[in-house]
Structure 1
């Protein structure tokens, strides 16, 4: 009996222990699986919610300071109308360390870019793969997905609106200049300029939108420091230096004269007025050097040397010989850049005798208009007479008085006098 009882007791005790162990194991499994179950449930909810927001803004998206989560396209359009009205009525202050410059946003042509802003809002939270989007959705429950509205500047309106501010804030860089250093041409950058960064200004405006009508916008005037040194200009300077490593020979009036590299380079100037940089020679300096080196006595060439003596027109002999025709400077530079080191130059001889072949030999007629002396209008009439005296109109050609005289300026000897413009009396130089 005894052994049987002991065996029964042992069997009952072992069964109770196994049951307890099983219950604890189930609890551990449940506790371990609970986070995964919660995560799976959340993932499922997020996935369903994302699908339910097709063609709508996802939850937790803020446009500026406004929660636009769940909005449809029509609701977004209404919100865009509200934002756009705030933008156009907002005064914009562009702040510098010394002052703030005010301009209305409407004058900048500043409007909301609806298409780009709509795309940014609808895409918020939908980045990446569909498997990872639910995790982004979960994060948006605690932190808003902030989207900045995209602004658009009308280029024409912005240029006009920023013109006054830019002139005050911006300082254009000075043009580079050529200097001769140890016989070589070098490009010295112009004075640095501070240029208003319009693109950065637009980005700052996008992040500073008003949240209510009439609210002011303050943005810093970001400027970029710029010194005008162009790669194309530097390449041109290098080319000139490379083409003038040896003496340049000029054959003038049968005489050979040579300009050293540093002498020739000293005649080079930059012309930056066009769309592309170009070099030119200072012909006044170059001709002076050539005339002196060739021993040519320079005289003042009288381009209006015809004189009237009584009934006769006198055709003078050559009164000067010198270098050179106007276009020679450009031809010389082109030749040197092409590798030519010996250049022949023709002298100018002021010889008007071929005019006799046209039959110009006597005075045909003249006229005199009597006016009180020293009046402003009389001074101008006399000046025009002096300019046209000796003018030659060849057979078949036409003559324009204003075209021949050119612009009437004080530097050309004219004085202010009375004029009539569109039936109204006024005063202007050369009247």
Structure 2
């Protein structure tokens, strides 16, 4: 028993000794490893002491700034982002393609902050932290995200412009006053741009160098419900006469009293009917003294003027121009108010006297009610720019026009595309419009301010898009005969600037628009009808056999006839 106990004790002691020995080895190995790591770290730190260059593997977005000084990194990143911000982005939905000029969205990037952040990697003064950051960057790379800020108001304008061009687009309910009636048009469900997804895709695309385009994200939407109480609050006015005060010099326009000519309950009952258009009768009390009665005292100066020419022989088109011109002529816009071409002109219908004239539709020139009134909206658009007014809504035509240069037109379409501008001046303004002797002229009158600016419009075509030729077979035309059905026009890309000057010196230069015009293809009808051949007898009564017997010289003379 004693021997067994002694043996067990010896075994236990041997085991403990062995464990102790292993522990010592582990401790020694760990110490050596720690010292080695510390030695390497110290050496690594000594190597990087005074190294002002950015650590290897550091990127700002996808731009490699490894081993660059702060100045070199700044120059490289600025150069790269300047390229990105000057490059347009193309967005597309089905056959609609729009160009977004990033410069127009007032981009803001804190490049200095990003480069400073890159320079601080591995340079905190903490050996362990610095070495970890440097090694991590070398092995896995270290990416600093770029934060680009874009002007959301400008993005919203572009979204609104594209929305107006979408097929089967959402139509919100709208209303306007016509004579002594309030016209309320019921909206229609349709597609609109998904704003959140659009913004996300836009920011992603701005940061990349290649494939700078994306598909426009859309969603189906229902129009907002008609709120008759909100409409009433908007249109209700109390009658006031126009007057001018001298100190301070202020023009107070007249206000015509407007109220429902029926009760609110009756108006709500009308809206319960299933109709596309509702008519609410109004009671209008006209002011005794209008701003027009104040005459030149209220509108002494021409602020902006523009003219375009038209073909006087196209009588239907001339009629449409004259009708629309009569509607906008004399319109007074108060400070802070927004003018809407569609609201003032109203819907273009046969009942109102509008005629059929050429319009662009589906990539072709066709006849449509009210054709030609876009010439008036384009003329007014230019006059508004020269008057230094804020353009809040404007779209270019799908194709180039004959009356306005690229970037100088403004298309309109009832219920969708509108021309709107805001009176940002101190005093009311008045539109004077005329259509006569082949010239459309719009003038904007008002009172000049103490500091009046000169406006210059500069537009240039950046790319010409050649038109294509389409041949269509026509079995009514003989073979070899061709007939032009539609003349083609080249498309173009353009950029238009508004330059503001004071005493001849440039104060500012801003992008008004970046436009794309599609080429209008040339369509040629090609005859496929076989020419009639004479078999039994010619028109002169000769048989083919007789003709063969005729003297060759005589036969030649007959054929030439």
TM-score, normalising length: structure 1: 0.38
State the structure with more CA Rg: 1
Larger strand proportion of the pair = 2
TM-score, normalising length: structure 2: 0.31
Larger helix proportion of the pair = 1
